[in-house]
Amino acid sequence: MDKLRIGIVGLGWVSQVFHIPQLRRFEDAEIVAVCDKDKSRARIIAEQCGVSHFYTDYQQMLAAEDLDAVDVCTSTDAHLPITLAALEAGKDVFVEKPIARRYSEAAQMAQAAEQHKRKLMVGMNNRFRPDTMILKSFIEKGEIGKIFYIKAGWLKKLSSDNKWITHKDKSGGGVFLDLGIVLLDLVLWMLGFPPVLRVNAKMYLHKTKSVEDSCIVFLEVKYGITLVVETSWSFHSEQDFFYCDFFGSEGSAMINPLRINKELHGSLVNVIPAKVETGYNLLMKSYENELKHFVGAARGLHPVISTGVEAMQRMKVVDAIYNSAVKGREILIK
Amino acid sequence: MDKLRIGIVGLGWVSQVFHIPQLRRFEDAEIVAVCDKDKSRARIIAEQCGVSHFYTDYQQMLAAEDLDAVDVCTSTDAHLPITLAALEAGKDVFVEKPIARRYSEAAQMAQAAEQHKRKLMVGMNNRFRPDTMILKSFIEKGEIGKIFYIKAGWLKKLSSDNKWITHKDKSGGGVFLDLGIVLLDLVLWMLGFPPVLRVNAKMYLHKTKSVEDSCIVFLEVKYGITLVVETSWSFHSEQDFFYCDFFGSEGSAMINPLRINKELHGSLVNVIPAKVETGYNLLMKSYENELKHFVGAARGLHPVISTGVEAMQRMKVVDAIYNSAVKGREILIK
Amino acid sequence: MDKLRIGIVGLGWVSQVFHIPQLRRFEDAEIVAVCDKDKSRARIIAEQCGVSHFYTDYQQMLAAEDLDAVDVCTSTDAHLPITLAALEAGKDVFVEKPIARRYSEAAQMAQAAEQHKRKLMVGMNNRFRPDTMILKSFIEKGEIGKIFYIKAGWLKKLSSDNKWITHKDKSGGGVFLDLGIVLLDLVLWMLGFPPVLRVNAKMYLHKTKSVEDSCIVFLEVKYGITLVVETSWSFHSEQDFFYCDFFGSEGSAMINPLRINKELHGSLVNVIPAKVETGYNLLMKSYENELKHFVGAARGLHPVISTGVEAMQRMKVVDAIYNSAVKGREILIK
Amino acid sequence: MDKLRIGIVGLGWVSQVFHIPQLRRFEDAEIVAVCDKDKSRARIIAEQCGVSHFYTDYQQMLAAEDLDAVDVCTSTDAHLPITLAALEAGKDVFVEKPIARRYSEAAQMAQAAEQHKRKLMVGMNNRFRPDTMILKSFIEKGEIGKIFYIKAGWLKKLSSDNKWITHKDKSGGGVFLDLGIVLLDLVLWMLGFPPVLRVNAKMYLHKTKSVEDSCIVFLEVKYGITLVVETSWSFHSEQDFFYCDFFGSEGSAMINPLRINKELHGSLVNVIPAKVETGYNLLMKSYENELKHFVGAARGLHPVISTGVEAMQRMKVVDAIYNSAVKGREILIK
Amino acid sequence: MDKLRIGIVGLGWVSQVFHIPQLRRFEDAEIVAVCDKDKSRARIIAEQCGVSHFYTDYQQMLAAEDLDAVDVCTSTDAHLPITLAALEAGKDVFVEKPIARRYSEAAQMAQAAEQHKRKLMVGMNNRFRPDTMILKSFIEKGEIGKIFYIKAGWLKKLSSDNKWITHKDKSGGGVFLDLGIVLLDLVLWMLGFPPVLRVNAKMYLHKTKSVEDSCIVFLEVKYGITLVVETSWSFHSEQDFFYCDFFGSEGSAMINPLRINKELHGSLVNVIPAKVETGYNLLMKSYENELKHFVGAARGLHPVISTGVEAMQRMKVVDAIYNSAVKGREILIK
Amino acid sequence: MDKLRIGIVGLGWVSQVFHIPQLRRFEDAEIVAVCDKDKSRARIIAEQCGVSHFYTDYQQMLAAEDLDAVDVCTSTDAHLPITLAALEAGKDVFVEKPIARRYSEAAQMAQAAEQHKRKLMVGMNNRFRPDTMILKSFIEKGEIGKIFYIKAGWLKKLSSDNKWITHKDKSGGGVFLDLGIVLLDLVLWMLGFPPVLRVNAKMYLHKTKSVEDSCIVFLEVKYGITLVVETSWSFHSEQDFFYCDFFGSEGSAMINPLRINKELHGSLVNVIPAKVETGYNLLMKSYENELKHFVGAARGLHPVISTGVEAMQRMKVVDAIYNSAVKGREILIK
């Protein structure tokens, strides 16, 4: 089979730093067209990629180019129309996280993929980190027993480059839709996608106007599991934090760095991987693994994971979280 | 004025390690009697303290000795009857935390103190740590702005010596009544005792039978403040943890070790006290300060803090927490 | 049963620092007599122990006192006569390491114990360290697979207090009999006492005259296992070293500090006990455990380990090591 | 306005590593000519910069090229003639530190700038470091009170590449003119340019012949401030050192790394910026900021700082320092 | 010879923490009397030392007791009269640093010692630290070549217990007489007592009224050596500092911790002692060595070092330093 | 003289990462031809090196090209025929380590070099590391006295790229011929090539089939020196290890990092180079120095070191080591 022919829509930070450099290194894929509303940005990046045609209108790109797949890296509000158009045009679609601004949009996208029998993959690169993959294998082998409590958090300075992210009409929400959804997905994936039963959320606007810049969520997941997620763009902390700690009946486990605490033959031990990538390398590796997975799935080598259907379930929880914050009370999820 | 004449009831770990060594060093107080249901323990400690009379029945002690104050260090179930008897006998009372097993008991004790016009102080030694006192002064001076989110936790291996603590009839509850109440008090004291509006709690029994050994609580406090408290006797962690992090509009602050992160003239800085006691010294100092406060209050030198009335408010929240865990839903506090 | 009545012979460093303080803390043993050729030392220590009689002649002590057991802490040359006399007098005997200066002496001692049906235990406190006991349980559970190579070493400045140790007639040999025998025992115990097949040793005299102060030994143990042991009183190293590293088919393990390196579900991990005593505490604990074991064995509560018979096998290897160093060639052990 | 057209004279280390790479990245400036007495060096660098003309004679360059500004990076002896020629030709001038070999040369340069109404900026990149700029804002806001004592030092191995620096006729002096003048400027700038009242200097020649390679200076600055500066090319130290510590009535402050020690609400605290560039990045950033400032000033966007007039005052102190070292006594500055 | 019979005058901090505990451990000395103007302090310490007589008047003590030596630990103003009286009474005298408030007093004391042919030793415990003694032997063996520059400093919070130290009539001066003189002595001793040629000093009063609490001194010593000494009771630093760095033609050396930087066979190396006492142990050891030296000298076993005559030279420099600070100019010493 | 014209045979890892990048940077050498059995690899690398001709048959290369020297980087089995052919063709030869599979091959190669009067150098880059060269100069200056014991080891994960290395017919042996020979050479070179008298070796096959993947060797070298070498491709260790520790009568020395422990004027000190390259830089530097040495020797500027004759002696020891492992006993070397 020939190389997978990919068109990229949206040429901001995530495209430039992660998607384009990775895709250009692949031997089984090819960027054949790029599209961005900013014409000069589209032209410059087309030159860098050795692509002769660039577009400012994704409809024109879909019409003119012979693409196998479309990689959607735009602001969140554009995910729905572009994805629908691409699926309708018979392309497989990779869409960056979050899939959409709300559950109803996600549902449309998942249904369109099913209807047109195309692959729809949602960007969740943290599932593809070397350390989270090791941790998942340890958890599945029962190293820490039955998990009952997880706490996760992501505190990160807001990048001033991504201004659309603070406008609700474009982003759908604030820090939870930007960072919290990643943690939510990571935890649910690690646990095998149990249903979330009820949520309780508090949101704060300190440096933003239309969306929350801090958010604390308390969730009850099926089987009596408790999950607490804290996210912020505005915490005054010494450095960015990303953590995810799992507590089980036989031990506990955490990432950043990856380690397990448990009993072994009667002694409490720490189990620490001898060598795992960290920092920038780990991040790069996660995008490489993720995009390789998408290319392989589009080429029919394996089923796709992180699908639109999975994202629907996740977005139902997200809707409930925003609802809880607005109502100031607990929300049950049916 | 002469030395304050104190009788101690309950000669377990907290008496032996903290109360007795500290009280014996004071120049304005004197241990004149000790009482414990275990006769040989009472005799041995009486010898150590140079006290000629020891008791196994606190009623006898109250009748026979000319005491100014009673220090109650028994299991929690005995706090109520001893305190009532002591107050009725006209003694000031120091009672170790938690004041009682439930709100209704606390209320009786606070009312009795009022009725008999005696001092009733509840042990909350963490308010008397050098680092928490510094932090409180920083927070009150506005160093971190308006506080909106606090997370606190205490993970500690259960000491096998204190067996009564895992029997609900004696203790009233598990790890939250043992450790969580301390964090709850520390936070409410730091914030100036705002009312708690609603609570959501999850409890787990892993190594215990009648009381919880792990507990996660999500609380909304007045003024939109969120508080998350996690406590456990059974987490598999590398070491014991005690933390309390405050996030405000202008910065964040934490203890263990004490530090502040904030902006100063446009730069993000960490403010770190040059020298604060830590570990064992800090713990000892907290008990010394606390008991000195009680002795001073009993001698009329200053009003008492950490009163029974304060404890009533705290116990109302505790009752709601246990209620939430049983009902599996959010509980509002009126 | 009453307390075990013990008489100590030899009141040097190991008695004063380890044996006497530990034995005095036991509730099931009692030091009833002490004996040392230095009369003033014997008198002073008798006072410290609250013992009314002290001796300079162990024969007199055996005749005059009603002892259950004798603890022999003298220079090595005196181990044989004292142990024989004590066993003959019907006492159980604890003798510090090394059991004797050579195999033939050890054999006499072991045979006497058998003949008189008394317990004979040889001091090997390193078997009773918390970390070596944990390591042994890990090795026996197969955590590192089949062991094929061990390297061990002990580099320690010679204490000037123990002068007899550098006189061959008193000590029987130099640094190998002082330190190497401990490592040899530790390894053979950990492996379940496989026979040693051949040895190759090199010895050096730098700061000593009649015994070696540095020794390197290469041994082949049954099942193809290789063992290298290095010991020195005179190496110019930054600090004292004591190490013992085990390499197995599935992983490796070491002490000081205790850790295991192995594969777990396909990832190379380090397994590190969360809390193990180290340094002085660990050393003290090892003597406490060892002497408790002897007291318990003498009181009939359990069989004795580290017996004279075990020591015979070990001394056969020691004899071969000195033989190899003298001959300048490999020595086979039948 | 068009890009600022710059000609560079002197293509040694500081040009190659700092000036040229930075200027080429600017969008509002352009290197249009380069000049060096070494013809092949000039040619190679012209190629690298994409400049068609290169010169070995700065007079020819000034005559032939249409320049807005000249960047002087030659040995110190050439600063005077080149700067005078460039100013006379109507160019703005950036001259690397030190401005000249002695006060009289600096005065001629400053006067020429005034006469020709051109900008003259002297390279003092340490004023443009992110950390020194933060420190200055902290000091100006009064964070450490009134400053009374400063100690500063720079110990650095002499680079063998810069051989002219050790010839007095070319450099004017040794390590003080190379490194000490930077510290002197940094301190005076931080304090708002108070006059220096008296100086006392000691100089040593260990590895050099005509200029000092170690220098210790004690200065009294107006308002009773004491300043001690130590510099050396030949100290046997573990690594290069650059430090500058300020002591004030309310606290102390230092750079490398930046930190403040002071009292806050009664507690002694350390105030530490959360993130400041260090090492190579910090150095690069300082040159970038400095050259951007010059370009902006030449383009009329803001007044120039680090002028020739400021340098005159500094050079008066430098003359006194060399005078003190020669005379072996204190020198007063009028 | 019998034990040296010592009487101690002045029972403050230095007596209680260092002199008395050390002297009581010596086998060749005995405290036979103690004297302090505070009667209850004298009585309590007499009890602790097992001394039957205590005094509030040193004249009475000298008259009543059969002493061999007197140890003077009073405030500095009393050093002169007590020392003169003791010498006249035929006693050897140990006097704590500084010997006196000014040169003229020191001269009287030294002359009296000579006249009465008694030993007079001045407390300079830093000469007796294990690390300074090692450093001196390294310097004398030429490890760092010819020394040309020394910088030394001592920054220490003022102990509130020693209040007399801030009253000029009692102490003679501030932080330089308290801390600086120790550094001055350490450096001059290390260099073999070269004459000081000129001094330049600046003093500050921040938290004190009659004496300086910060002092910076620049000195020229014979052979072209430069010495800078900084001392303060009031610097806002993270911790107390005590440093003394020596720069020589072949290398540099420093204490706290002790290390040497130098070239060895063409490579720059750091030479670091493997084990030297630090912190409290080092301090205790220095007093032990110092007082042992005095006792040995008083018993005629060796000549005394740190004599009154040495102190005269040192006090001449001290007088010049205070003179320089007052005059605001350099002072030459003849 | 013109540049040395070099042809490289064998274009695997060591050529690509070390030889080619270094040789291309040299000004006195030129790669004029490359040869590898894998034609596409040869073509690609020829392009990278700007070489117009590439070969798959070294005989053709020798016939067609005008070479001065041949650099042999093939699998070990090909070292003999290529070297013989090149020497016969009059070329100087650099051959990577190990020189050959066994002594007899090495002897043929050394004799051919002698017969054809050409230079034959064997790759031993560890002799050219900056730290080993410093250590050798320290040892030769007598810094640690007379050496009596050396222990060396290299534990390294087997690179899966070099598959020929685990086939005995190609490699001649396993980990000892790969890593152990480097340590053996390093030690013998450091000691001045004393003869090895006897060897005792144990080998293990855990992850390999035809050659050992772990090897422990005990050697006696002339003058009573003991050497222990451990090497493995399969140890479960936290990281790769490379160590070489020398123990002498006056001190000890080690590399990685380089340090010396010894007595200096009566104090035990650590001597640590202030700055030595480490890790990747050190490795690169060693190859640069080594290849520069070969180029210089081939150009007649200095004698060659690490000759074929030296390698013969080394290979005699290697043969004995394999013999000892097979026979299960000590082997004497005549």
Check CB contact of E160 with chain B, cutoff 8 Å.
Answer: no
Q: H helices then E strands: how many in chain A?
A: 12, 15
Chain B CB within 8 Å of residue E239 CB: yes
Output the pLDDT for position F51. 87
Taking the Cβ of residue B218 and every Cβ of chain A, the question of whether any pair is shorter than 8 Å is answered with yes
User: pLDDT, tens digit, for every residue of B184-210?
Assistant: 999 999 999 999 999 999 999 998 889
Q: In angstroms, how far apart are the furthest CA atoms of chain B? A: 67
CA distance B318 to F72: 80
Task: State the pLDDT confidence band at E161, using cuts at 50, 70 and 90.
Answer: low
Give the separation between CA D141 and CA B265, rounded to whole angstroms. 8
Helix E279-298 vs helix E130-140: crossing angle, to nearest 10? 80
Q: Which residues contact A140 (CB under 8 A, 6 or more apart)?
A: none
> Distance (Å, rounded) from C-alpha E220 to C-alpha D203?
12
Q: Which chains touch B (3 or more CB pairs under 8 A)?
A: A, C, D, E
Return all residues near D195 (Cβ < 8 A) that are at least 6 apart.
D221, D222, D313, D333
List, in sequence order, every residue forming a beta bridge with A203; answer none if it has no partner: A215
User: Is residue D272 within 8 angstroms of chain A, CB to CB?
Assistant: no
Compute the mean pLDDT over every residue in chain D, rounded to the nearest whole number: 94
E78 contacts: CB under 8 Å, gap ≥ 6: E9, E10, E72
Sheet containing strand C120-122, edge to edge, reads C54-55, C29-35, C4-9, C69-72, C92-95, C120-122
The per-residue pLDDT of chain E, averaged, comes to 94
d(CA E329, CA E321): 10
Q: Is E266 on the interface with F (CB under 8 A)?
A: yes
Q: Average pLDDT of D242-254? A: 95
Cβ count near F276 (within 10 Å): 18
Among chain A residues, CA nearest to D273: A238
Contact F138 E264 (CB under 8 A): yes
Residue of E nearest to C238 (CA): E274
- The confidence score (pLDDT) of residue B278 equals 77
Flag whether residue D253 sits within 8 Å of chain B, measured between CB atoms: no
Cis peptide before F98 (omega within 30 of 0): yes
d(CA C211, CA C180): 13
- Chain B positions in Cβ-Cβ contact with residue C274 (cut-off 8 Å): 238-239
Chains F and C touch (3+ CB pairs under 8 A): yes
Q: What is the pLDDT along chain F (334 residues), one digit of tens a residue?
A: 589 999 999 999 999 999 999 999 998 999 999 999 999 999 999 988 888 889 999 999 999 999 999 999 999 999 999 999 999 999 999 999 999 999 999 999 999 999 999 999 999 999 999 999 999 999 999 999 999 999 999 999 876 656 899 999 999 999 999 999 999 999 999 999 999 999 999 999 998 889 999 999 999 999 999 999 999 998 877 678 899 999 999 999 999 899 999 988 888 899 998 877 778 889 999 999 999 999 999 999 999 999 999 999 999 999 999 999 999 999 999 8
How far apart are the C-alpha atoms of B188 and F293, rounded to whole Å?
75
The rounded distance, in Å, linking the Cα atoms of F58 and F63 is 9
pLDDT by 10s per residue, chain C, length 334: 589 999 999 999 999 999 999 999 998 999 999 999 999 999 999 988 888 889 999 999 999 999 999 999 999 999 999 999 999 999 999 999 999 999 999 999 999 999 999 999 999 999 999 999 999 999 999 999 999 999 999 999 876 656 899 999 999 999 999 999 999 999 999 999 999 999 999 999 998 889 999 999 999 999 999 999 999 998 877 678 899 999 999 999 999 899 999 988 888 899 998 877 778 889 999 999 999 999 999 999 999 999 999 999 999 999 999 999 999 999 999 8
pLDDT for res C194: 97
Partners of D272 in beta bridges = B270
The CA distance from B60 to C111, in Å, is 66
C-chain CB neighbours of A272 within 8 Å are 269-272
Residues in chain A: 334
* Closest of F6, F2, F1, F112 to residue F66, by C-alpha: F6
Categorize the per-residue pLDDT at A281 as very low, low, confident or very high, splitting at 50, 70 and 90: confident
- State the DSSP string of E100-158: -SSHHHHHHHHHHHHHHT--EEE--GGGGSHHHHHHHHHHHTTTT-SEEEEEEEEE-PP
- Using a CB-CB cut-off of 8 Å, the residues of chain F touching E134 are 265, 267
**Amino acid sitting at position A220:** E
With vertex at residue F122, the alpha carbon angle to CA F118 and CA F124, rounded to the nearest 5 degrees, is 150
pLDDT on residue A311: 97
Residues lower than pLDDT 70 in chain B:
1, 159-162, 238
Q: Could you give the CA distance from residue F203 to residue B73 in angstroms, rounded to a whole number?
A: 67
CA dist., res. E311 & res. E288, Å (int): 21
Q: What tokens were used for D204?
A: 């040593």
- CB contacts of F216 in chain C (<8 Å) are 149, 218, 226, 228
Instruction: Kindly state the tokens that stand for D15.
Output: 């040009």
Q: What pLDDT is recorded for position A159?
A: 64
Asked whether D174 and D211 are in contact (CB, 8 A), the reply is yes
Q: Is D66 in the F-facing interface, judged by CB distances under 8 Å?
A: no
The residue assigned the tokens 């040159």 is D287
CA E176 to chain CA mean position, Å: 12
pLDDT at E60 over 80: yes
Q: Does F155 touch chain A (CB under 8 A)?
A: no
Largest CA distance in chain F: 67
Among candidates A59, A82, A22, A30, which has minimal Cα distance to A299? A30
Length of chain E: 334
* Neighbour tally for C53: CB within 10 Å: 15
In chain F, what residues touch C144 (CB-CB under 8 Å)? 236
Report which DSSP code applies to F209: S
Q: How far apart are CA D168 and CA D170, in angstroms?
A: 5
Contacts of B167 (CB under 8 A, 6+ apart): B210, B211
DSSP F255: T
Among C261, C262, C268, C271, most A C-beta atoms within 10 A, so best to mutate, is C271
Query: What percent of chain D stands above pLDDT 90?
Result: 85
Q: What percent of chain D has pLDDT over 70?
A: 98
Q: For residue F198, what are its two tokens?
A: 């006897």
Size of interface A-B (CB pairs under 8 A): 86
CB contact at 8 A, B241 and D108 = no
* Tokens standing for residue B72: 């109650």
**Chain D positions in Cβ-Cβ contact with residue E270 (cut-off 8 Å):** 238
Q: Is the pLDDT of residue E20 over 80?
A: yes
DSSP H or E segment with residue A248: strand A241-248
E188: Cα separation from own chain's centroid: 12
Distance CA F132, CA F138 (A): 10
Predicted confidence at residue A162, as pLDDT, reads 61
Burial of B50: CB neighbours in 10 Å, binned 0-12, 13-18, 19+: exposed
- Report how far residue C132's alpha carbon sits from residue C256's, in angstroms, rounded to the nearest whole number: 10
Please count the other Cβ atoms lying within 10 Å of the Cβ belonging to residue D195: 13
Using CB atoms, which chains have 3+ pairs under 8 A with D?
A: A, B, E, F
- pLDDT at site C88: 98
Contact by Cβ (8 Å): B67, B7: yes
* Residue, of D157 and C195, whose pLDDT is higher: C195
Are the C-beta atoms of residues E245 and E150 closer than 8 Å to each other? yes
Global ipTM: 0.92
What is the arithmetic mean of pLDDT over A45-60? 91
Using the Cβ of F274 and the Cβ atoms of chain D, whether some distance falls under 8 Å is answered with yes
Q: How many CB atoms lie within 10 A of CB C329?
A: 15
> Residue F272: which of E134, E272, E275 has the nearest Cβ?
E272
- Distance separating alpha carbons of residues C181 and C196, to the nearest angstrom: 13
Cβ distance of E261 and D238 shorter than 8 Å: yes
CB within 8 A of C171, min separation 6: which ones? C75, C76, C77, C101, C164, C165, C177, C178, C211
Residue E325, burial from CB neighbour count under 10 angstroms (0-12, 13-18, 19+)? buried
The tens digit of pLDDT for each residue in C59-86 reads 999 999 999 999 999 999 999 999 999 9
Distance CA F317, CA F311 (A): 10
Cis peptide before D273 (omega within 30 of 0): no
The pLDDT, as a whole number, for residue B207 is 87
* Average pLDDT over every residue of D245-252: 95
In this predicted structure, the answer to whether residue E118 has a pLDDT above a threshold of 90 is: yes
The fraction of chain B above a pLDDT of 90, given in percent, is 85
Residues 6+ apart with CB under 8 A from E279: none
* Pairing status of strand E259-264 against strand E251-254: antiparallel
Backbone angles phi, psi at F250, to 5 degrees: -115, -5
pLDDT of residue E181: 98
pLDDT of residue F28: 93
- Per-residue pLDDT for A239 more than 80? no
Structural contact between residues F184 and F229, judged by C-beta atoms closer than 8 angstroms: yes
HSE of C216 in the Cβ direction (CA atoms, 13 Å)?
Answer: 19
Task: Give the residue from chain B lying closest to D260, CA to CA.
Answer: B271
Comparing CA positions, the residue from A267, A260, A273 lying closest to residue C277 is A267
In Å, how far is C228's CA from the nearest CA of chain A?
A: 26
**How would you classify the pairing of strands B4-9 and B69-72?**
parallel
| Any F CB within 8 A of E268 CB | yes
Answer whether residue E159 shows pLDDT above 70.
no
pLDDT at E141 over 80: yes
Task: With beta carbons under 8 A apart, name residues in chain B contacting A206.
Answer: 249
Give the C-alpha separation, D246 to D259, whole Å: 11
Amino acid at B178: D
Q: Which residues of F touch A275 (CB under 8 A)?
A: 239
pTM of the model: 0.88
- Let me know if A53 is exposed, middle or buried by CB neighbors in 10 A (0-12, 13-18, 19+): middle
H/E element holding B293? Answer: helix B279-298
**D89 touching chain B per CB within 8 A:** no
Contact F87, F182 (CB under 8 A): no
Any chain F CB within 8 A of the CB of A274? Answer: yes
Contacts of E143 in chain F (CB under 8 A): 264-265
Contacts of A270 in chain C (CB under 8 A): 270-274
